[in-house]
Amino acid sequence: MEKDFDRGELIRRALEQQPAAYAPYSGFYVSAAVLADSGEIYTGVNVENASYPAGICAERNAIAHAAACGERRIRAIAIVGGPGGENRDYCAPCGICRQVMREFCNPKEMRVLTAKSPEDFRERTLEELLPESFGPEDLIRE
């Protein structure tokens, strides 16, 4: 059964971290806050690189932060992003980030919040964003 959580707080944590994004090439500042099953919140920002493929998205950075602290299940993620750090639209996660999220959750239960502010956000399940996904259970051998 899904536990409720404070969506506004999760979004605020992402917004607080957004200025730390390193986006000298695109100027598109993204931040994410991940809520782990433990109740802890972990943040991450996008970090670009002159060799573009070497950069990392905020969502994967936040998930890696949680994993490095020993977390293995995430319940929700809040994502904010926009040019110059202005959140004019809802910043959806890329396909790679959706797949990384899938590694650490039940896609039917995980909540993905894309937000402009704590009061203005969209909420979906990961299953809605990544239908018919491939996950760890698909690799279990009997």
Would residue 59 show up in a list of annotated catalytic residues for this protein?
A: yes
Helix (H, G, I), strand (E, B) or coil at 82: strand
Pick the CATH number of 7-139 from 3.90.226.10, 3.40.140.10, 3.40.50.150, 3.40.50.300: 3.40.140.10
Structure tokens at 88: 């004019």
Mean pLDDT of the chain: 96
Q: In this predicted structure, what is the pLDDT of residue 1?
A: 41
pLDDT tens sequence across 84-141: 999 999 999 999 999 999 999 999 999 999 999 999 999 999 999 999 999 988 897 7
Residue in 16, 48, 59, 128 annotated catalytic: 59
**Structure confidence at residue 142 as a pLDDT band (50, 70, 90):** low
CB within 8 Å of 107: residues ≥ 6 apart: 125, 126, 127, 130, 133, 135
| Pick from 30, 7, 12, 38: nearest CA to 104 | 38
